A = this chain, B = another copy of it.
């Protein structure tokens, strides 16, 4: 314990004065980890992960979206979507449906169970963000969204 205490009295291990705290990337990562973990806790064990929620959200809002379109919207590879769609289909939240005119394509159709599961989850997710972001005002939240979207502007460039 001697050395540890000595060092701590020499320098304070003040993380706030660290180089890291000047980087947007680092702060973004820490904030993201918090949000993600709390999201899972809010929806509960056995419920949807953030990414599955995001996929369901787009299928509900854009019925008959194809997997390729969904992958592009979510910013992930098509291959990564397969397991997510499988999971949502296993829960009877959505179904893959053939598209007349192009037999390569699978349209994703929200089912009744998916619509209501999404509505329920939507309430919980909004609540989760409200609680987690209680220290920032509505205006600050809008500003944060605006700034994050500015960063996202260059996506794919």
Contact = CB atoms under 8 A, between A and B. Distances in A.
User: How many copies of this chain sit in the oligomeric assembly?
Assistant: 2
Contacts of A147: 136, 140, 143-144, 147
Interface residues of A, number: 67
Main secondary structure of the interface of A (DSSP, over half): helix
Contacts of A100: 2-3
4 closest A-B pairs (Cβ-Cβ)? A2-B101, A27-B148, A25-B35, A32-B32
Interface of A: 1-4, 7, 11, 13, 15, 18-36, 39, 50, 54, 57-58, 61-62, 64-66, 69, 73, 75, 99-102, 105, 107, 122, 125, 129, 132-133, 135-136, 140-141, 143-145, 147-155
